[in-house]
Amino acid sequence: MYYSSRVIEILDKSNVLETATVSDIIHVLGINSAKFYEWMKDHKDFADKVLELRSKVDDQVVSSLLKRAQGYDYEETSTSIKDGKDGTEVTEKKTTKHVIPDVGAAMNWLKNRRPDEWRDKQVVEIEGDYGSLVDAFVRDKERRDADDANNNS
């Protein structure tokens, strides 16, 4: 397939928006990955469309993750069917259910949105001359090793 404005039309009409993965886009267009990346580099309108599709999917995931992190309510409908003397009776019962907040989703959200405050890795900075501290540590280790050697002989 060669590149034309029809490529954008195909993307607009496809269901590739559901995932917007490179492999899905390649499949919909019937091209290989080399051609995909060539078009990304050479055709700004194509690159813009792919980034737009991916951004929409990312926004949906962000929304879902936030909803899961905060917890939410939803309505569940159950239907019961009973045979009676007056015929079949169908009743529907609506119940509001609550999904509790998910700590893992909340942590994932915070680690990505505020990494300086919530990342697992901590950075400790030491200021000043710590060379003498290292020297003292090495001397202490050498003394302990010598003491161990004397005690074991």
20 lies in some domain = yes
Distance of CA 37 to the CA centre of its chain: 23
Local confidence band at 83 (pLDDT 50, 70, 90 cut-offs)? confident
**Residue found under tokens 């942590």:** 107
Closest among 99, 98, 96 to 75, alpha carbons compared: 96
Helix/strand/coil (H, E, C) string of 4-46? Answer: CCHHHHHHHHCCHHHCCCHHHHHHHHCCCHHHHHHHHHHCHHH
**Is the predicted pLDDT of residue 53 greater than 90, yes or no?**
no
Distance of CA 137 to the CA centre of its chain: 44
Q: How do residues 84-102 score in pLDDT, each as one tens digit?
A: 778 888 899 999 999 999 9
108 lies in some domain = no
47 lies in some domain = yes
153 lies in some domain = no
Phi-psi region of 30 (alpha: psi -120 to 50; beta: other; left: phi over 0): left
13 lies in some domain = yes
146 lies in some domain = no
120 lies in some domain = no
The number of distinct structural domains making up the chain is 1
Q: Name the pTM for this structure.
A: 0.52
Closest among 113, 31, 19 to 69, alpha carbons compared: 113
14 lies in some domain = yes
**Is the predicted pLDDT of residue 130 greater than 70, yes or no?**
no
Domain region containing 31: 6-70
